[in-house]
Amino acid sequence: MIVLASQSPRRKELLAELVPSFQIQPADIDESVVFGETPEEYVQRMAREKAAAVAACFPTDLVIASDTTVVVGQEIFGKPVDEADARRMLQKMSGKTHWVHTAVVLQKQEKRREKLVSAQVSFSLLTEQMITEYLKTGEYQDKAGGYGIQGAAKVFVEAIQGDFYTIVGFPVNTVAKLLKEFPEELKK
């Protein structure tokens, strides 16, 4: 059996395009940044910890975990804690290019495969009115950086460089390649 260590509807939808059936079991982990950790190290650690937490409950199954973070300069933007935090993040991204890092981990017992994929997103200059209107949608909740590129925030995006699905939070091409390393799971 395949277990998706996420409650994200986007990840669920995208994984369903790759495998016929799977179970969902979100991971409950501490998502705090460790002092001195780079954004890349952070997102990889989060994906590993999610995979390990769920694998402990499903020791014979293939666990797929993913984590996404948005980075402006060296500041890591996880999920905003509230609307004010989301506003702060959007203001900092306004008129700038930021990085989106997504780490994917596939783990079954002692076998683990992982990959970090990165993309850049350039935002237009955002007015306070644009930010306020966006925040009213509530879409900022539970999304790294306070936005989902596939939602209402798509109007903020001037350009992307890299894989679109990395920005969505589930790099489909990467997951498909990693799944090939677990052929026995694809037959189930």
d(CA 2, CA 81) in angstroms, rounded, equals 31
- Containing 44, the helix (H) or strand (E) segment is helix 39-57
Separation CA 29–CA 25 (nearest Å): 12
CA-to-CA distance for 76 and 74, rounded, in angstroms? 6
Type and span of the H or E element at 130:
helix 128-136
Q: Give the Cα separation of 169 and 11 in Å (integer).
A: 7
CB atoms < 10 A from the CB of 130, how many?
16
- 117: tokens are 């994929």
Task: Name the CA dihedral angle for 27, 31, 34, 38, rounded to a multiple of 10 degrees.
Answer: 90
Catalytic center residues:
67
Query: Are residues 144 and 100 in contact, defined by beta-carbon separation less than 8 angstroms?
Result: yes
